[in-house]
Amino acid sequence: MNGAGTLIRKGSKIERYDDFSGLDRARLQNLIESAFGRLLNAGALAQGIERVYLEENYLGAALLAPTAVGAYLTKFAVDRQAQGEGIGGDLWSMMVRDYPSFFWRARPKNPIVPWYLKNCDGVARFPDWHVFWRGFPPERIEPAIRYALAAPLDFAS
């Protein structure tokens, strides 16, 4: 009988880095640009990153930066060819284990917004951005929104 059997998905191997040393920055940049379908501005990966979660084959990454408000998820990217394989969920699981609270933003038309809505504690919607948070007390939400709305653009227009 053809096609009978059970498919078991092996979890992704996610590595954690405290900075960019030991990473292939060109591969990381290619991953982010592929996932977003846009070119990063020069210096976009030079900002102060506190933690990088990276799938061992550069198929997914999450980058967090420290701010006065809390951890800011600057990039969450899964290679277009690998989307739907569970890499995003594996990255997310590891990240939320280390960061019980953080915030991020996404364009309203970003196709991952429905997934973000299922995985956030709250969202503020604006014409250009949706700002999400997780694990934030009420007094930190407004400063997080202000920070996210004022953060520089990472991609070329």
User: Dihedral through CA 96, CA 102, CA 108, CA 112, nearest 10?
Assistant: -10
Reported as type and span, the H/E element at residue 89 is: helix 87-98
CATH of the domain at 107: 3.40.630.30
Percent of the chain with pLDDT over 90: 64
Q: Is residue 157 part of a domain?
A: no
pLDDT in tens, 40-88: 988 788 768 899 999 999 999 999 999 999 999 999 998 876 666 678 8
Q: Which domain holds residue 111?
A: 14-150
Please give the average per-residue pLDDT across 12-30, as a whole number.
90
Q: Is residue 117 part of a domain?
A: yes
Asked if pLDDT for residue 93 goes beyond 80, the answer is yes
pLDDT in tens, 130-140: 999 999 999 99
